[in-house]
Every structure is written in structure tokens, then in C-alpha cells.
């Protein structure tokens, strides 16, 4: 076993969809729809384009442990909340079964590959979750059906199973939360080109 490169986890930013699973509200990755289980680390797996349009640099059949510098696999996190929010609004639409979107800080450890705007890691777990206050109206989730959003307090209560701080923020979108958090930390906005790692 190799010695770790860092003494403490790297902390970045990411967003999640909130879904109902395993008898409660759970965080789910928006791209591969990976469920983040409370009080259990998430371990990366290379899917080489499975379930998404993302491509990999590895030829088919070449096995490796994620993340690798030659592949796009791994658990991603951005350097700033604003970069995460820009990525979320550009790439992912809420689908059926998604109650809300949340943003938060995530601890990364194990093998970590540094990218231009963040990191990809072999292991991760939420460090802090921010819940925007949804509008009190019927929301469309891209399926042609409409249903009421859950109150932010109920979402926060459901996410308490993760054992990390969960904060309700008086903003209606992930982007507004990110701007508020970065402003409070005096983080400059991301550059115009918001490509991911």
C-alpha cells in the first residue's frame, strides 16, 4: 500500500440531485446517477463512457484504477462553488424522481488527480451540504408531470443522515447559493470558459 500524498482530504465543491431511495432522501450524482450512501465513502469506478456521452482516453478493455491522468474517470469536485453551479446549469437537467438540487463541499482522498478547475479522486464523502429554498409552487422536472417541491427544511432534515452540517440557504437556486457562498469567501468568479476537468 502506498503512503498518501496528503495528510488531510482535499475539500472541493460539487452539486447533487436529491432523490428518495433506501427509505429516505439521498444524494445522487447527476451524471452517472450514483447514489451517495450516508456514512459510507463513495469509491470511484471507471465507466469509460457508460450511461453518458463522455469519452475516455483509455482504449476499450484497458483496466485501471480511477482516477488516472489519462482518463476522465474519478469523483469530480470544483475549486469554487461558482464553477460547480456553472457546470450544473450547463450540463444537467433534473429528471423524474429528483426532488431538488443541492450544492456542497466534498472531501476527496486516496488517489487525487489535480485538474485545471478542480480535482478527480478515488474516494469522497460530503463535508457540508447547502439546501436552496425552493419556490413554493409546482415545479416541472422534465417529464411532463408537475408536482410540489418539498420544503427546504424537510430536505435538510432528510439529508441529516449523512452526519455532516446541512444548512438551508435563503436562495432559490444552486447558482444563487454558490454566488452567495463565494461572495462571503471573496472568491473571484470563474473565467468565461467553464470547461470541467
Which pLDDT value is given to residue 146? 42
8-12, 92-96, 130-134, 177-181: which is most confident? 8-12
Q: Is the pLDDT of residue 55 over 60?
A: no
Q: Lowest mean pLDDT: which of 79-83, 92-96, 173-177?
A: 92-96
21-30, 43-52, 62-71, 134-143: which is most confident? 21-30
Q: Which domain holds residue 168?
A: 12-38+77-109+123-184
* Average of per-residue pLDDT across 44-66: 58
Q: What is the tally of structural domains in the chain?
A: 1
Full-model pTM: 0.78
Q: Is the pLDDT of residue 72 over 60?
A: yes
> Does any domain span residue 96?
yes
> Does any domain span residue 83?
yes
> Does any domain span residue 160?
yes
| Residue in the structure block whose three cell numbers are 431511495 | 21
> Does any domain span residue 93?
yes
* Average of per-residue pLDDT across 16-39: 93
> Does any domain span residue 87?
yes
> Does any domain span residue 21?
yes
Q: Is the pLDDT of residue 94 over 70?
A: no
Q: Lowest mean pLDDT: which of 60-64, 99-103, 124-128?
A: 60-64
Model confidence pLDDT, tens digit, residues 177-195 = 888 887 777 655 555 444 4
Q: CA-to-CA distance for 142 and 86, rounded, in angstroms?
A: 20
> Does any domain span residue 149?
yes
More confident residue, 154 or 186: 154
Encode the chain in three state secondary structure. CCCCCCCCCEEEEEEEEEEEECCEEEEECCCCCCEECCCCCEECCCCCCCCCCCCCCCCCCCCCCCCCCCCCCCEEEECCHHHHHHHHHHHCCCCCCEEEEEEEEEEEEEEEEECCCEEEEEEEEEEEEEEECCCCCEEECCCCCEEECCCHHHHHHHHHHHCCCEEEECCCCHHHHHHHHHHHCCCCCCCCCCCCC
* Average of per-residue pLDDT across 75-85: 92
Residue 117 confidence class, pLDDT cut points 50, 70, 90: confident
> Does any domain span residue 55?
no
Contact 81, 182 (CB under 8 A): yes
Q: Is the pLDDT of residue 175 over 50?
A: yes
- pLDDT more than 90, % of the chain: 43
47 to each of 55, 115, 117, 121, how far by Cα in Å? 10, 19, 22, 14
Amino acid at each position: 500500500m502506498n503512503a498518501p500524498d496528503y495528510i488531510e482530504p482535499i475539500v472541493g465543491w460539487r452539486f447533487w440531485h436529491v432523490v428518495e431511495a433506501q427509505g429516505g432522501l439521498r444524494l445522487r450524482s447527476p451524471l452517472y446517477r450514483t447514489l451517495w450512501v450516508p456514512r459510507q465513502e463513495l469509491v470511484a469506478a471507471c465507466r469509460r463512457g457508460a450511461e453518458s456521452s463522455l469519452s475516455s482516453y483509455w482504449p476499450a478493455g484497458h483496466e485501471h484504477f480511477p482516477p488516472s491522468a489519462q482518463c476522465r474517470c474519478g469523483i469530480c469536485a470544483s475549486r469554487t462553488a461558482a464553477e460547480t453551479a456553472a457546470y450544473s446549469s450547463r450540463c444537467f437537467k433534473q429528471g423524474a424522481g429528483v426532488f431538488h438540487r443541492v450544492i456542497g463541499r466534498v472531501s476527496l482522498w486516496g488517489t487525487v488527480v489535480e485538474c485545471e478547475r478542480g480535482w478527480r479522486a478515488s474516494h469522497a464523502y460530503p463535508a457540508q451540504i447547502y439546501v436552496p429554498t425552493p419556490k413554493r409552487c409546482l415545479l416541472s422536472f422534465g417529464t411532463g408531470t408537475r408536482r410540489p417541491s418539498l420544503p427546504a427544511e424537510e430536505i435538510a432534515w432528510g439529508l441529516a443522515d449523512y452526519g455532516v452540517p446541512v444548512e438551508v440557504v435563503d436562495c432559490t437556486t444552486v447558482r444563487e447559493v454558490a454566488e452567495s457562498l463565494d461572495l462571503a469567501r471573496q472568491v473571484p468568479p470563474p473565467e468565461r470558459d467553464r470547461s470541467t476537468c
